[in-house]
Structures are given as structure tokens and as C-alpha cells.
Structure 1
Amino acid sequence: MGRRSIHCLSISIQNGAANCCKFNRWGTLVAVGSTDGRIFIFDFVTKGIVKTWTAHALPVSSLSWSRDGRKLLTASADTTVAIWNVIEASCMHRNDNQVLVLQLNYPPCLDELNPRSQRIITNDIPGAIEDGVSAIAFDRRANYLITGTNKGKLVVYDAKTLKMVSWGRQNSVQQIKQIVIPRRGNFIITNSQDRIIRTFDLNDILDCYYICGASTKAHSLYVWERTTGTLIKILHGTKGECLMDVQWHPIRPVILSVANGIVSVWTQAHVENWSAFAPEFTELEENAKYEEKEGEFDLDDEDADVDDKGHSQDSDEEIIDIESLKPSEILCSSDEEDNINSLLPDVTLKTGPLWFLPITPECDNTDTLPLPGGHFTGISLE
């Protein structure tokens, strides 16, 4: 990543200023919350808006997709949390859902939306009752609540009983400002007041991961290698911009950043080099007739060696399985479903995960459509 050049482009929002953004589980759709309370859904391939609606009266502060991509959880500065049907853009309720609420200088509480209830999480650490909770998050399976205090302590609670399971402390008494739970790997990442990003091992730590961090005072992104702590890359945005949000793409080396109401897409600048795949590749400047080699397309090459003939026959007789499907390790985390059908989208959009949203193309009245015979008709798409 450090040797390649970086390309940056912006996603346009219709007369709106972005405040936060969030990829869906597969990175095919991006939800953007604006300062005027609207929600924009972008197709990440085309970078076009496929759905938009007004969700809140004040700026949208946080977004979260459901696992199947059909629901979107939004939080706003108007102190409300809403769950939306992405296809219909309508507000809905979801059973057995829980939301973490953290108020300034107050203990965190766990809100259950249906049935409606509220429970306060108490601090049971000896000698640390007065420590305030400054950050909180669910683990990947929502079995535990991980809280960070203003004294640099990490406390783990059982999500059902709210009883303390374990706790530990950092090598600093600085306040923990943020807790991030990655999709893969059983570890957590903390961002503290001393401007140091730390990783904590829950079980085994996997290799080859990167951490992206930034300061809200400048539009500059820093990428570190997690295992060694080496700074790999610095991405500089426009000077003077105030950074609001940063999001990794789930499976691609792409980063989204929100600053001054604009969503920027950071990606690698790809350069085609076909000779790297085929050393004998030559670029043609004009049409040339291809001269095939002797026996190149023959089923039985008379001039080939005996060993080559046997290998060719074995490869022809090999049965290729095109019916069995295995879940992609890239799209699946370690707590993923084993059934491959649960990952495949439904073309009718009635069931299954929602990978993409359909959109009706906008055509002018003067547009014409070609017929199979090559003729054109004056019927327009409206």
C-alpha cells in the first residue's frame, strides 16, 4: 500500500453536507447522514444516489447497517434513534434489538426497543466506582459489552445479565475516547486521550491488519501496520478542513472520509501492466494478423512429447464442479453463517441480503431506443 500512489475523489450530495458515513456489510452500498437530517444511499460502484429520505430534524450523528443490509439504524442530534427499511425508506421496529446509549457524566444504559425497557450498567471494580464511562461497544457477537473509562480501564460485561466478567487497564491513566471492534480477528482497538491507538488481544491475534487514524483538526489520515506499529502511509486532504468521520471498506483497500460536508474516497491509483501477467505480451499499435503456431489449436499434437500428451488427457478428463458453492472467506467473518444461500441476494428483493438497490434511469423525451433490427423508435422511458 505504501509503494502505490493514492487516488482521491469526492461523492456529490444533492444540496447537502455530509456528517457521517457507513458501508454495508459487503461494501456495495454506502449510507451517508447529512447535517439537515437526510439519509443518502450510494451505489459504491457507480457513485450515484439510489435512495434518499428525510430521517431526522437535526444532523445525523451515527449510522449502522443490519447484517442482511435491509435495515439501517440512524442516530441524530435530536436525541432519537430510528430503524429504517432501506428498500421502502420507511421507519420500522425490530424485535429483540438493543441500543447502547452513553450520556455525558452518567452511567451507560442499555435500551431494549421491543419490549421497551431500560437498564443501567453499574461499575463493580473495587476502588473505581467513581470512574466515568467514556466509550462503550458490543463485541462481534453481541455477547459482551466492552466499556472504557476516563481512567484508562477496560471493563467487560455480560450483555444479558450486565454482570462484570473481566476488566483490565492500559499502561496509561488517560481517558479512553473510542472503542472499535473489527469484523475479523478477536481483538479490540482503543483511542485514548494521549493520542495513542492501542490494540488488545482477546484470544489469538491475526497478522496483516492495518489501522487508520486521524485528527479532527486536520484532514490527514494515518495508516499503521498493527503488528509492528509502523506508519505505512499518510493521506493528506485539503488543508483547513475539519474531519468528521472515517470508514474502511469491508473487503477492499478503500477509505471514506467526511470533512466539511464532503465524502472523499481514498483508493489506489491502478496502472495497467499486462506484461506482469504475461511476459510475452506485446502492445499492438495497429491491427495485425495472428499467425498460429504449429499444433497450437490441435486436439492431438503429433509433435508433442509423450508426457505432455498424458498431462493434456488428464486435464481434459478432470471434472469441474460448478454446482457446489462455498462461502467466500473475504465476505465472511469468523462468526458468519455456514449456509451459502444466506449470502446470495434475491433478484426480487423480497428475501435474503440486500446487496444493491434498483434505480430507474432518467431519460429525456428526445431519447430513442434501438430495435433488434437496428431501427429506432421514438418511445421514451418515463
Structure 2
Amino acid sequence: MNAPIIDPLQGDFPEVIEEYLEHGVMKCIAFNRRGTLLAAGCSDGNCVIWDFETRGIAKELRDKECNAAITSVCWSKYGHRILVSAADKSLTLWDVVSGERITRTILQQTPLQARLHPGSSTPSLCLACPLSSAPMIVDLTTGSTTVLPVSVPDAGNGLVPASRNKFSDGTPPFTPTAACFNKYGDLVYVGNSKGEILIIDYKTIQVHAMVPVTGGAVIKNIVFSRNGQYLLTNSNDRTLRIYENLLPLKDGRRALDDLEATHKELNGVEKLKAVGSKCLTLFRDFQDSVTKVHWKAPCFSGDGEWVVGGCASKGEHKIYIWDRAGHLVKILEGPKEALIDLAWHPVHPIVVSVSLTGLVYIWAKDYTENWSAFAPDFKELEENEEYVEREDEFDLVPETEKVKESDVNEDDEVDIVTLEKDSAFSDSDMSQDELCFLPAIPSPDVPEQQDKGVESSSKLVDSNHSGSPLSEEAGPNGRATNHASSPLEDNSIADDAGGSRMKRKRKPSEKILELQAEKVKKPLKPSGRLSKVKNKSVADLDNAEDNSNLYI
């Protein structure tokens, strides 16, 4: 779509289903950093990588040891690696270009979500959120795990050991806990079942700040915006909340030390809350006050201007879109299939959603072309109007002034090598080779089962067979398979029990049978060409294999 003819007053959010992707039963999706590749985890344990520009499959990652459903997929920062978590308690790290498995780690619990460390181009650390245990840092190289704290005691210095596995108020040990890295991966933000956001240094396993969430409901999802300035939480009270990140994007750990130094007089939970108030502040909350629906897979748009959440109701495929100010701007209604995952394209106003049936729907913007952008005096009409020209409109007017000369110096060299820095990827390292596309590998067509060896088609078939001059041979299922092509044959195809294809033969006419009998008594010599037939005489046979091609 040409940018000059797009109406600038239209909102940059999707509106309609453009198309859908189908490959097995897909469960979860994730875009790479540029949005050129889309990874989808399937129910059979495979991971499919789609070329999002052509909507074709670029690569399929198959693990013979994994037959369980994929629970999450995550790209590395520059797209060279993919982390896949599965229901068989495995974490698998793949090399995208070669399609080879790098490492495979088995956990004690099923990981519902796994995220690679965002601060490295070739990460070996990941954050895993298991089904019934606390979030943990996993070293994919060695397989070692470090469990993160999910609560703080009511007294003490606020540091919780990693071995703590029960809340002080006697609640169940763990519910599925949400956690995520910040933009550069030096801190982990954990949302627990007591409605608290904990800011943890994963290297020292210490809680440095705590932010209580209004209502104290269980936090099901927690995710940062792409630029790291906003944090989005999804709670059991059916409310989405946006928090503004007050810490610097880089060196957030050092900023926490400075905040702790300013609150030396406080201890325990009071100190953690005081520091937390300087780290996050509530910006906006979203909820459907009418239907009171639960939300699933909330996320930001690529530029952070829009907030999107999927409806968690069964049998409904609805996507709600708000602007950051809190206004509901669009409700996308899809087919009557439950929504299980969604993702916003990093650059374009496109949302991709996954249905319970395993289809991936692509929601795009319904553009309205603004043709008046081509000329300032161009006027668009809602309906036809009768035009009345002016009296002097078509009079010849002598040229009164010269056309202004262009100020562009045509002798200057045009730089076509230097790349302009994209504001959407301001943290890109130009020295790092980023994987944006995969080479297309065409998949060969499966050849149909063909009949074996016709050594010579010049032999005549004995009259003990079908009585036809057509060359026949026993197929793999013991049936006779026709090898000759004739205009007298019926070209319809019949599938037999063995799955092979056979041509139906047409019963030869009496004239052909007579000719065949004469041929058996006295074979004709091949003539090289068919002569024309007059007075119902028969043409000479070109070859014995074409003796069915008779012109009567």
C-alpha cells in the first residue's frame, strides 16, 4: 500500500481478518524482532517458522524426542535461536538457520512459558514459568536451575531464599506465576498470587522492591512494552493494568541500589514498598464493565500506543483494543472458536491470533485510499455532480513565468549504501548480523506410484489376455495395468484397493477385432507414417504399440 494515499486520520490498528494460516494444530505464536518471521508451536511437538511476507513455511523444526504439545516459543534478540517449551517438561533451544537442536533440558514441572535472556545475541539463560512451581532461571548449557522467590515475609530484611516454597498465610504452595525480564534483562518482574509485583535480581536471588496491585488478585500475565517504558499486568479480577516504569532502561540494578540507600531508615516490607513506589506507578487500568470477561494473552502494540487483550470466554474469538489513555477503540470479532494466543506485529498494525482449532488468523487494517493526496486542488466527490466549466477555462493563456528550477544539485553522489537507523529498533547493534529472512527451500512434489518397467511396447499381447491390442502388465496388486495411450480409451481414473491408479479400457469395436485377427495371421510391416484411409480401408500401422490408433 502506498503511504501517500492512505488517510492519515485512520487509526493504526487492525480491523478485519486478512487471511489465515493452516498447518496442523498450532498452539502458540511469536514474531521475531523485525516481524518478518512468525514461529508457531504445534500440538505434535513441531515448531513451524512462517515467512510472514509470503505467508509460506520457511522451516519446520522437528524433534524426534518430543511428541507433546508446544506451550510457548521465544526468539532470541537477533533471531538466530528459538526456545521452545513443551508439555513433556522439556526446554529445547534451536539454531534457526541450520534447523539443528542445540540443547534440550528436562525440568521437574511443565513450563507454561519460557523466555530467553534479552541482553545477549546468543543467550544460554532463560526464564521459565512452570505449572506448579515458582519461576526459575535455567542455564540451558548445563541444565542447572535457580528458583526465584515469589513472596516476601512480613518481617526481616526482605530477602527471600530460593528454597522458600510456601506462603506465610498458609495459602497453597504455588499457583501458575507470571514473570518476565525487563528490556535489557538485568531484573526480573514477578507477579504472584497475592497480587504483588516483585522486582528481583536473579543473580543474587534477592527481592529489592515490591509493588502491591489494587485488589490483591492473582496476577496471571505480566509483560513489558517493546521500549521498556510500560508494564502490563492481567489479574484475576478481570482487569488489565498499565504501570509506568520509573527506573532507567539501562543499569536498573544500580538504580535500585541508590533507591535502597535513600530508605535506610526502613526495614522489611515497608522498605520494599517504598522502593517499589519509586520503580512503578499505576498509569491506567482496563476492563469491560458490562460483560466482566476474563482476559487472555494481553500485550502492547509495537510502538506501545495500543493495548490488546483477548477474550477468555469459551466459543468466542474476540480481541479488544484500547488506546493507552484507556479508551476502547475497537472490538474484533472472529469465528466461533475460542482464542488461545495472540501477538501484535512489531512494526505494522497487524494482530495474529490462534484459535482453539489450531488455525492462525491474521488481522490487518482495512485501508481507505485518499486520492486527494496526489494534488492539493484535487477534490473527492461523494456522488456524481454536473460540472459547469468557466467561460475562460479552456482559453489559451501565454506563458507568463518560467518554471522554477530545481535546487537539487544533480552532480552530488547519492548514497545507497548507508542504512538509516529505524526508530523502532533504536537499540540495534549494527555490528550484529540480524536474521530477517530464511532461504526458501522448495519442497519436492511426491511422485505418484508408477508402474514398473515397460521394456518394449512393440510386442503384441497374447489373445489369452483381454483380447485387446493394448500392452498390459501386472501391477503391484496383481491387476493388469494399462501402459498404452489411445484416443479410444476412456481417460477417467479409478482408484483400486491398493491405491494405484488405472485407466478404464473401452471395449474394442468389431472392426478392430477383425483387424487384430488379420494381424495375428499375417503381421503388417511398419511403414513409419500413417497413410490416409479411403473407402473404409485401414491405414498402415506405424508401430505395434500404436495399433489401437486406427482411423476408420
Normalised by the size of structure 2, how large is the TM-score? 0.54
RMSD: 3.3
Which residue of 1 is the match for residue 346 of structure 2?
250
Measure the CA separation in 2 of the matches of 1:302 and 1:322. 39
Which residue of 1 is the match for residue 369 of structure 2?
272
Where do 1:325-340 residues align within 5 Å? Answer: 325-330=419-424, 332-333=425-426, 336-337=427-428, 339-340=429-430
- The answer to whether the aligner puts 1:50 opposite 2:58 as a matched pair is yes
Q: Which ranges of structure 2 fall in alignment gaps of 5 or more residues?
A: 1-9, 105-121, 155-166, 248-282, 284-299, 381-395, 447-552
- The answer to whether the aligner puts 1:73 opposite 2:116 as a matched pair is no
Which residue of 1 is the match for residue 17 of structure 2?
8
- CA deviation profile, 1:173-230 (whole Å, cap 9, x unmatched): 111000011211422100000111101111288996110001222210000011x210
Identity %: 31
Which residue of 2 is the match for residue 99 of structure 1?
126
Which residue of 2 is the match for residue 135 of structure 1?
178
My pick for the range that moved more, 250-259 or 64-73, is 64-73
Measure the CA separation in 1 of the matches of 2:346 and 2:14. 21
Measure the CA separation in 2 of the matches of 1:185 and 1:71. 22
Structure 2 CA distance for partners of 1:303 and 1:317, relative to 1, 3 Å? farther
- CA deviation profile, 1:256-285 (whole Å, cap 9, x unmatched): 0000210000001224333323346799xx
Q: Match of 1:261, SS?
A: coil
- Structure in which a larger fraction of residues adopt strand: 1
Measure the CA separation in 2 of the matches of 1:362 and 1:54. 16
Which residue of 2 is the match for residue 201 of structure 1?
244
Q: Match of 1:340, SS?
A: coil
Structure 2 CA distance for partners of 1:208 and 1:53, relative to 1, 3 Å? closer
CA contact (8 A) 1:96 1:114 kept: no
Which residue of 2 is the match for residue 214 of structure 1?
310
Q: Match of 2:221, SS?
A: strand
Structure 2 CA distance for partners of 1:208 and 1:57, relative to 1, 3 Å? closer
Aligned residue among 57, 61, 66 for 2:71: 61
Measure the CA separation in 2 of the matches of 1:99 and 1:4. 32
CA contact (8 A) 1:2 1:233 kept: no
Structure 2 CA distance for partners of 1:276 and 1:32, relative to 1, 3 Å? same
Instruction: Give, in angstroms, the shift of residue 116 of structure 1.
Output: 3.3
Aligned residue among 334, 356, 362 for 2:437: 356
Number of residue equivalences: 331
Q: Which residue identity is paired with 1:225?
A: D
Structure 2 CA distance for partners of 1:105 and 1:360, relative to 1, 3 Å? closer
Instruction: Give, in angstroms, the shift of residue 364 of structure 1.
Output: 8.1
Q: Which residue identity is paired with 1:8?
A: I
- CA deviation profile, 1:224-263 (whole Å, cap 9, x unmatched): 011x210010000112x11110100001100000002100
Q: Which ranges of structure 1 fall in alignment gaps of 5 or more residues?
A: 284-292, 296-300, 343-351, 366-382
Instruction: Give, in angstroms, the shift of residue 102 of structure 1.
Output: 2.8
Instruction: Give, in angstroms, the shift of residue 302 of structure 1.
Output: 9.9
Where do 1:113-262 residues align within 5 Å? Answer: 113-123=140-150, 125-127=152-154, 129-130=168-169, 132=174, 134-203=177-246, 209-217=305-313, 218-226=316-324, 228-239=325-336, 241-259=337-355, 260-262=357-359
- CA deviation profile, 1:318-372 (whole Å, cap 9, x unmatched): 6654444332112x14xx13x4343xxxxxxxxx22111111446889xxxxxxx
Measure the CA separation in 2 of the matches of 1:108 and 1:360. 39
CA contact (8 A) 2:15 2:365 kept: yes
Which residue of 2 is the match for residue 288 of structure 1?
none
Structure 2 CA distance for partners of 1:119 and 1:182, relative to 1, 3 Å? same
Measure the CA separation in 2 of the matches of 1:151 and 1:99. 25
CA contact (8 A) 2:32 2:79 kept: yes
Measure the CA separation in 1 of the matches of 2:36 and 2:407. 42
Measure the CA separation in 2 of the matches of 1:138 and 1:208. 17
Measure the CA separation in 1 of the matches of 2:203 and 2:241. 27
Which residue of 2 is the match for residue 379 of structure 1?
none
Q: Which residue identity is paired with 2:100?
A: S
CA contact (8 A) 2:35 2:346 kept: yes
Structure 2 CA distance for partners of 1:155 and 1:89, relative to 1, 3 Å? same
Q: Match of 2:423, SS?
A: coil
Q: Which has the larger radius of gyration?
A: 2
CA contact (8 A) 1:326 1:340 kept: no
Q: Match of 1:275, SS?
A: helix
My pick for the range that moved more, 352-361 or 248-257, is 352-361
Aligned residue among 11, 25, 28 for 1:17: 25
CA contact (8 A) 1:123 1:129 kept: no
Structure 2 CA distance for partners of 1:168 and 1:282, relative to 1, 3 Å? closer
Q: Match of 1:252, SS?
A: coil
CA contact (8 A) 2:14 2:350 kept: no
Normalised by the size of structure 1, how large is the TM-score? 0.77
- The answer to whether the aligner puts 1:31 opposite 2:39 as a matched pair is yes
Structure 2 CA distance for partners of 1:4 and 1:102, relative to 1, 3 Å? closer
Structure 2 CA distance for partners of 1:19 and 1:124, relative to 1, 3 Å? closer
Q: Match of 1:276, SS?
A: helix
Instruction: Give, in angstroms, the shift of residue 61 of structure 1.
Output: 0.8
Instruction: Give, in angstroms, the shift of residue 88 of structure 1.
Output: 1.9
